[in-house]
Structure 1
Amino acid sequence: MAIIPKTNRRDFLKMAATASGGLLLGFHWASADATSASMEVISDAANIPLGAVDFNSYLSIAPDGIITIFSPNPELGQNIKTSFPMIVAEELDADWTNVKVMQAPLDTKKFERQVTGGSGAIPHSWERLRKAGATARHMLVEAAAKRWNVPATTLVADKSIVQHIESGRKLSYGELAAEASNVAIPTDVKLKDIKDFKLIGTPIRNVDNHEMITGKPLYGLDFYREGMLFAMIQRPQAFGMKIKSVDAAAAKGMPGITAVVTFKNNVAIVGKSTWQVNKARKVLKVEYEAEGAIESTLDHDRLFKELLESKDAVVKRKDGDVDTAFKNAAKVISREYQCPFLSHAPMEPMNFFAHVRADGAELIGPTQTPEMARNETAKLLGLSPEQVTVDLTRLGGGFGRRLKADYVLEAAELSSIVKAPVKVIWTREDDMTGGSYRPAVRYRFEAALDTNGNMIGYKLKGVGINAGNTTREDNFPSGAVENILIESVEHKSPITTGAWRAPITNFLAFAEQAFLDEVASAVKQDPIAFRLALLDKAKQSPVGAVKYDIDRMKAVITTAAEKSQWGKKKDVAQGFSVYFSHRSYVAQVAEISMKKGKPVLEKIYAAADCGVVVNLSGAYQQVRGGIVDGLGHALYSNLTFKDGVTEQKNFNTYRLIRMKEIPEIDVHFINNGIAPTGLGEPALPPTGGAVANALFKATGKRLYNQPFTKQEELKGVNLGERL
C-alpha cells in the first residue's frame, strides 16, 4: 500500500476534417465503443461555439494543436469540469497547456448521466473517458505511421507530439489531425498502466480559476439577456398554509413593475430590475390561512419520542436472534442522538432563466439535474422533452438543493404566463424559508455485551421527518455482530425535505461513531483497536452480507492512526471516527487541547481511500471542504420552526462556520490503484464523530445532539475559537 503525500490545497465519433484541416473527434459518454457518424464541417475546431453544432461530448484537435474537450456534467465545485478532461488528456498523451475545456448543454441522446449528485460522476465515466482519449491517441499514431511508412509500434506519443524513436522525426497532433480523420476507428484500444500516468494524480488548477477570480460571468446569477424580465416570488413562509387573498394594487403601481401574477400557491412580482421587483414585493399584501397541520420544533421533540416506541417500524436488516442476545446480555448500553433540520444555504441563492415560446422552451441556469429540469418543464407546459433545451451555468453551491427542479418550474411557468423571457431570483430569506431541508432525525442505538466485553447484539432504530430510510443498514458494523436489528420509521410532514450533502450519513455517521466509541470505553478498549477487532471478525466470520470493503476500511484506519500518532501525544485529546459512504472510505482523528480551561479544536487528520486520485489539488479541496462543511454544521447550524415558520431567515441567525474557526487539516490519500470511487461527499460524515469523541477525551462529556454548541455540555464554549 502506497500513500500519496499530503498536499495543500465512447465511443469515438469520427466527424470530419474541418475546413481548415483539423480533426474533430466526438465521443458518446454512454459507452466507450467507437462508432462512425455523419460528417460536420467546422471552420474553427478550437473555438467551437457552445451549442452551435449538434454534438455530444467530444474531443477536437485543431491544426494549431489546440485540443477542446466538452464537459457534460454540471460543475458546482466538485472539480468535474477539470477532472473529466484530465482523464481524456491522460490517455491522449495531450499537452495540458493546449487543452481548452467547455461546458456542454443537456443532450440525453448523446450523453449519459448528466447529473451532479451522489459522488458518482467519476466512477461512472472513468473507463469511458479513458477509452475516448486512448482511441484518439491510436488514430494519431496510426496517421504518423502511415505518413512515415513505419510500424506504429516504433512510435511514441507524448505531450501532443508523435515521435519516431529510431529517426527522431516528430509531428504534432495538429499536423496529424487531418490524416488521422481518415484512420479506421479501432474496435478496442489498450489503456495505460496506472503506473504510467503523467497527468492523473498531479495537482492541476481548476479550469475556471481565472474567470472566477476576475469576476467573469459563469454562474446563473451572472446570466443576462437583453429584454428579459426579472421576478421574485412571495411563497407561504409557513408550511401548511395557502393563499386566502392578495392585494397587489400598491405593488403594481411601483416603477418598473410589469406584472403581478398569482399562480399555484405563489405570487410573483415581475419587472425590469431586481431592485424594482424587490421594492414592490415589500408592499405586496398576501393573507394566508391554514391548509393542514402546522408543526413546530417542540412538536418534533415529542414526536420523535413517540416514534421511537412505534411498533410500525420497517425492518431494514435482521441477523441472528436479537431478543435472546439482549435478554442474556451481561450489560446493555442504550443511547439516543438527534439532529435538527438544516438549510442547504448555497452561496448562490436559487435562480433560473426561462423563455417559453409557442414552439418550445429555453432554460438556462444552475441545476444538478438538467434532464429532470427539462422533463418536468415539458410535462408542465405540455411540450415534448425535445422542445425544451437546457444550458448549464456553473453552480455557486448546491449540496443537493439543486437536485430538485421546483425553482426551474417557477421560471418556466411564469414565462409562459407573462409571455416573455424571465429570470426568477430567490433572496437569502426565500432560500432559508423555502424548504427542501435536511430532514430532522433521531436515533436509538443499543449494544448487548457479554461478560467478556464482546458485543453480541446491536440495535439501531432511526426515526425521521420526510427522511425515507433513516439508516444505512448494510454499513459497518453490520456483518461483524452475530445478532443485529436495524429499523426505520418515517413521519410525513408538510415541511419539505431533500437530499443534503451525504444524505442521512451526514448525521448517522456521527451518532454511530460516537456510540461505538462509548461502547469501546465501557469495555475498556482502545477505540481504534475496538473497531479493527470488529472488522477482523467480519472478515473471518461474517454474519449476513458484508457490503463494505473490510481491507479498504482498515487501511484508512491504520493510516489515520499512524499519521496522527494515535495515543502517543501528550497534552492533546484525540478522537477517532471512520465511515464508508459513496463507495469510498475516510478515517479521521480530531485533536483538542485545553486552553484557559476550555477545549479548542486544533487539528483534524484525514485518511481517504477514493481509489485513483484524478486531480490531487481538487481531491484535497474536496476532503478539506467536506470536513469544514461537516464540522461547521455539527457545531453551529440549526433550523427551528414555530407555528410552521422557520425562526432562522438569514445568516445573522443561521450560524455557519467562520474562517478563523477552521482547524489545521492534514489530508492523506491511499493509493491502491483501483478505479475512482467518489469523493464529493465521503469526507463529511466522519467529522462530527471524531470531534465529539475528542471532546469526551478532553472533558469527559459526551455529546448526543447537534448542533454541539447548543448543548449544555458546551455552554459558553466555542470549539473552533482560537484563544
Structure 2
Amino acid sequence: MSTNKNKTLSRRAFMRNTSLAGGGLVIGFNLFQACKPKVVAEPTIDLASLDYNDFNAFIKIADNGAVTIFSPNPEVGQGVKTSMPMIIAEELDVAWKDVYVEQGILDTENYTRQVAGGSQSIRFGWDALRQTGAAAKQMLVSAAAAKWGVDPSECSVSEGVITNAAGETLGYGDVVNEASLLEVPDLEEVALKSPKDYKIIGKDASNVDIDKIITGKSLYGMDYKTEGMLYAAVLRPPGFGQTLVSYDDSKAKTMPGVVDIIKIGEKLRGLFEKDQGFSSKISSSDKVVVLAESTWQALKAKEAIVAEWKDDTTMESTEKHEEILTDLLDNGKFETRRSDGNIKTAFAQADQILERTYESPFLPHSCMEPMNFYANVTNEKVHLVGPIQTPEWKAGLVSQMLDRPQEEILMEMTRIGGGFGRRLYGDFVMEAAEISDAIRKPVKVVYSREDDMNAGVYRPAIKYRIKAGIKDGKITAYHLKEAAINDNMYGLIPNFFPAGAIENYQVDSVAYDSNITTGAWRAPYTNFLAYAEQSFFDELAELMEVDKIQMRLDLLDKVKPEEDERIQYSPERMKEVINVAVEKSGWGTKPSNVYQGFVNYYCHNSHVAEVADVEIENGEPVVKKITCVVDCGIVINPVGALNQIEGGVLDGVGHSMYGELAFADGKPVATNFDRYRLLRMREAPEVVTYLIENEHSPTGLGEPTLPPAGGAIANALKAATGNRLYKQPFINTPELLKIPEKEIIG
C-alpha cells in the first residue's frame, strides 16, 4: 500500500506582493494549505525591513538573484532547516549556493503543523514545497518570455538563469518586478520536475547552520538574551505526587546576584481545567522561583532554599511499577485495538504455543541542551523565544493561562539542542510565561541537568506479553498484550507487521495511572515494541525449526494491503529491505567468531532492516557492527540522511544496552550522567548504511532506525551466548552477557 500523501496548495494559498521599490520579489507560500489569501506583504523600499510576521514562510528573490527561503518548522537537529528549502530550491531551479535560509516564527494565523515530531515534516511538506518552487519559477519564466516577446515554452531555466531559443539570457533578478505583476498559476497544474532531472535533491548539502554551530554563534535557546533579562531557577517538587507546604528563602535572598524570590503555580493550575492533555504532563504544585543576574547565581541560591513538601498520594518505586504491570498483564481490563479471526479457538487447536514477556524501563530524554525558555510579558504582547517542538500548542496554552488574546502571543523558535519528544510538552514555556507575567520583566528559565532528570516527562515503563500458536507447522494465532504506565498505546501499534500476515491476530492494551509524568520518547509507540516482537519472531522460528529470514518473508507473502486498508506497511518494500540487508551484511557467511542478529521493522512510514554483528572479546560479547538498510522514499539530502540513520541506530544501541531510570519514593535514582548510563564513544559500533533508491515520496527518517537496533542486538547476543534476553537494559543481565561486575554502572 502506498504511504504517499497528496498534499497540495490551492492557487489562492500561494501569495505574493507587488514589486518592491528597492527591487526584488517576495513570494510567500503556505507549506500546509493553511494560508489566508488576505495576508499579503506590504510593499517596502528595503528588503531587510519587510515585516516577516505577515508570512507563514516565503521565498525572497533580490534583484541580484539571491534567494532567501524562510523555514517555519522547528529545527531539532533532524535537518529540516536544510532539506525543506532544498526542495523549494530544486523546483525554483536556482543554484543552492545562492540560497540563504532563515528560521521563521510561529504564525498561528496561516500555518498548520508547525511541529517537529513523528518524523513527518518532509513527508507532509513534500508536495506543497515542490509546488511553491515550481509556481515561482513559472511566473519568472513568463515574465522573461513577455520581455522577449516569445512563448514561455521556448524558454529554459538553469540555476536562476532563463534562456530563450535565440540564446539570450535573463537572471531571476532581472525579471522579479515584472513577475510580481503576473497572475498566480494554478498550483495543482504547475509542472514539477522528474526525479531524473534533480540537481539539488539527492545531492549532499551541508547543514545551513554549520558555520554558526562550529564557531559558537548564537543559535540555541541557551544563547538568547535581552537587555535587563533575569535568569530564573525553579525549585520543583523533589518527588512526583508532592506539593509545597512552606519554604524558607532567607539565606537565598542574601546571596550574590539574587534579585527576587517568588512563588508560582496558581495560573498554571487554572490552566489544568482548560487543557487536561497538558496538565497530565506536569506537576500541579506551587514552585519557588529564584530570579538572579546569572544562571549560576540563580541555581546556587535555589540550593539554599529550605522547603517542606507533603505527599498527596503514595510515593512510587520502580519495583511497584514492575509488580503492577505484571498484575495488569494477568488480570487487567484490556482494550482491544485489533482483532482478526478467533485467537481463542486457534490457541485451543494449536499443536504448540510460545508465550514470552518483555520488560522495558523508564527513560529520560537526555537532551544535550537542558530545558530553557525566554518570556517577556508586557501590556502589549507576550514575547516567547526558545527551543520548542510544538510552538503553536504552547502559544495557545500561554494565551489561555494568561487570558491574553492569541494575536498578542509572539513565539520565536531557536535551534533546538535535542528534543526526542521532551520538548513537545513545554512545561518550561509555561513556567517562563507565568514568571514574567508576575514580575513584568524579561526572564529566562534555565534547568540544570539535575532539574532535567528530576522533572522529566519520561518514556513510560512497559511490559509486553506475546503469545503465538502453531498448527501443522504454520503460525495460526498471535496475541500481543501491552501493559503501560499511564496512557496505553504508548508502545503498541496494531496495524504494523505482522498484522495481516496471521489469520487469528489480536492486539490488546491496558494502562496504570501513575504520578510519574510520561510521554513521547524518540520513536514513540515502537522504540521498545520492535525489540520485543522481533526477538519473539526469532525464538518462534527456532521453535518451529525454520529459517528466521524465510519465516518473515513467508509471512509478508500473506499480507494483502489492497484487501485491508488498515495495513500501514508495504510487504513488497519490506521484502526488499530484508533481501538487501541479507546480502549486504553477509548474513550466514561470516567467520565463526562473528554472531549475527536480524530485525526488520516498519515505523514512521519507513521500512528498515538491521543486522547486528557481535564478537566475543576477553570473554565478553561486544557489538561491533550494525548493517542498516532503509527505504524512506526519495532522499533529499543524503549526508543529512546518514546522520539521522546512524544517530538513530546508536541511540537504539545505547538505550537497549544501558539505559534505565529507576525510581525510589517517587524520585529518580539517577540525577545526572554520573549515575545514568549512556553509550560511550568506545562502545559505539560501526554503522554501515544502504538506502533503497526509488521514486516514492519521502517518508520519516529521524526515528525509524532506532527501534530495530535493540532487537538486532538481542538476537545477535542469543547467537553469541545461547541466552535469550527479555528485559532492557541488557547490561543488567551480566550472567547472560558475561559482563564483569566492574563494568556495571548504577
TM-score band w.r.t. shorter chain: over 0.9
Q: What one-letter code is carried by the residue in structure 1 that aligns with 2:27?
A: L
Aligned to 1:66: 66
Q: Quick one: distance in 2 between partners of 1:278 and 1:218? A: 23
TM-score (norm 2): 0.92
Q: What one-letter code is carried by the residue in structure 2 that aligns with 1:657?
A: L
Aligned to 1:462: 482
CA contact (8 A) 2:162 2:171 kept: yes
Shift of 1:110: 2.1
The reply on whether 1:621 has 2:621 as its aligned counterpart is no
CA contact (8 A) 1:245 1:286 kept: yes
Shift of 1:561: 1.1
Percent identity reads 45
TM-score (norm 1): 0.95
Aligned to 1:713: 736
Mind listing any 5+ residue stretches in structure 2 that lack a counterpart? 1-8, 266-285
Q: What one-letter code is carried by the residue in structure 1 that aligns with 2:258?
A: I
Q: What one-letter code is carried by the residue in structure 2 that aligns with 1:660?
A: R
Kindly report which structure 2 residues correspond to 1:58-207, keeping only aligned pairs within 5 A, or say none. Answer: 58-164=58-164, 166-187=165-186, 188-207=189-208
- 2:701 is paired with a residue of what secondary structure? coil
Q: What one-letter code is carried by the residue in structure 1 that aligns with 2:517?
A: T
Q: Sort the Cα spacing of 1:466 and 1:403 in 2 relative to 1 into closer, same or farther, 3 A.
A: same
Q: Quick one: distance in 1 between partners of 2:566 and 2:296? A: 58
The reply on whether 1:366 has 2:366 as its aligned counterpart is no
Q: Quick one: distance in 2 between partners of 1:175 and 1:245? A: 69
Q: Sort the Cα spacing of 1:541 and 1:392 in 2 relative to 1 into closer, same or farther, 3 A.
A: closer
Q: What one-letter code is carried by the residue in structure 2 that aligns with 1:12?
A: F
Q: Quick one: distance in 1 between partners of 2:198 and 2:501? A: 38
Q: Sort the Cα spacing of 1:44 and 1:671 in 2 relative to 1 into closer, same or farther, 3 A.
A: farther
Kindly report which structure 2 residues correspond to 1:596-675, keeping only aligned pairs within 5 A, or say none. Answer: 596-675=618-697
Q: What one-letter code is carried by the residue in structure 1 that aligns with 2:149?
A: N
TM-align CA RMSD? 1.9
Q: What one-letter code is carried by the residue in structure 1 that aligns with 2:720?
A: A
- 2:205 is paired with a residue of what secondary structure? coil
Out of 145-154 and 433-442, give the one that drifted further.
145-154
Q: What one-letter code is carried by the residue in structure 1 that aligns with 2:710?
A: G
The reply on whether 1:238 has 2:239 as its aligned counterpart is yes
Shift of 1:33: 9.4
Q: Sort the Cα spacing of 1:75 and 1:48 in 2 relative to 1 into closer, same or farther, 3 A.
A: farther
Aligned to 1:697: 719
For each residue in 1:376-425, what CA deviation from the matched residue of structure 2 results, as whole angstroms up to 9, or x when unmatched? Answer: 00111011111111000000000000000211000000111112111000
Shift of 1:540: 9.7
For each residue in 1:298-332, what CA deviation from the matched residue of structure 2 results, as whole angstroms up to 9, or x when unmatched? Answer: 11121122111124111111111211211121111
Q: Quick one: distance in 1 between partners of 2:670 and 2:35? A: 52
Q: Quick one: distance in 2 between partners of 1:283 and 1:192? A: 63
Task: Tell me which of 321, 340, 358 is aligned to 2:361.
Answer: 340
Q: What one-letter code is carried by the residue in structure 2 that aligns with 1:403?
A: L
Out of 681-690 and 252-261, give the one that drifted further.
252-261
Task: Tell me which of 514, 530, 534 is aligned to 1:513.
Answer: 534
Task: Tell me which of 426, 436, 444 is aligned to 2:447.
Answer: 426
Out of 539-548 and 582-591, give the one that drifted further.
539-548
Q: What one-letter code is carried by the residue in structure 2 that aligns with 1:29?
A: L
Aligned to 1:585: 607
Shift of 1:42: 3.3
For each residue in 1:403-450, what CA deviation from the matched residue of structure 2 results, as whole angstroms up to 9, or x when unmatched? Answer: 002110000001111121110000000000102000000011111112
CA contact (8 A) 2:140 2:172 kept: yes
Q: Quick one: distance in 1 between partners of 2:38 and 2:243? A: 56
Kindly report which structure 2 residues correspond to 1:238-387, keeping only aligned pairs within 5 A, or say none. Answer: 238-264=239-265, 265-387=286-408
Q: What one-letter code is carried by the residue in structure 1 that aligns with 2:264?
A: F
The reply on whether 1:527 has 2:515 as its aligned counterpart is no
Q: Quick one: distance in 2 between partners of 1:323 and 1:350? A: 49
The reply on whether 1:676 has 2:698 as its aligned counterpart is yes
CA contact (8 A) 1:139 1:185 kept: yes
For each residue in 1:646-691, what CA deviation from the matched residue of structure 2 results, as whole angstroms up to 9, or x when unmatched? Answer: 1000000011111221111111111221111111111111110011
CA contact (8 A) 1:106 1:389 kept: yes
Q: What one-letter code is carried by the residue in structure 2 that aligns with 1:478?
A: A
- 2:331 is paired with a residue of what secondary structure? coil
Q: Quick one: distance in 2 between partners of 1:560 and 1:73? A: 33
Q: Quick one: distance in 1 between partners of 2:689 and 2:182? A: 45
Mind listing any 5+ residue stretches in structure 1 that lack a counterpart? 1-9
Q: Quick one: distance in 2 between partners of 1:373 and 1:53? A: 18
For each residue in 1:479-521, what CA deviation from the matched residue of structure 2 results, as whole angstroms up to 9, or x when unmatched? Answer: 1111122110100001000100111210011000000111011
CA contact (8 A) 2:34 2:110 kept: no
Residues paired across the two proteins, number: 708
- Give every structure 1 segment of 4 or more consecutive aligned residues whose post-TM-superposition deviation is greater than 4 Å: 32-39, 540-545
Q: What one-letter code is carried by the residue in structure 1 that aligns with 2:202?
A: G
Shift of 1:114: 0.4
Q: What one-letter code is carried by the residue in structure 2 that aligns with 1:634?
A: S
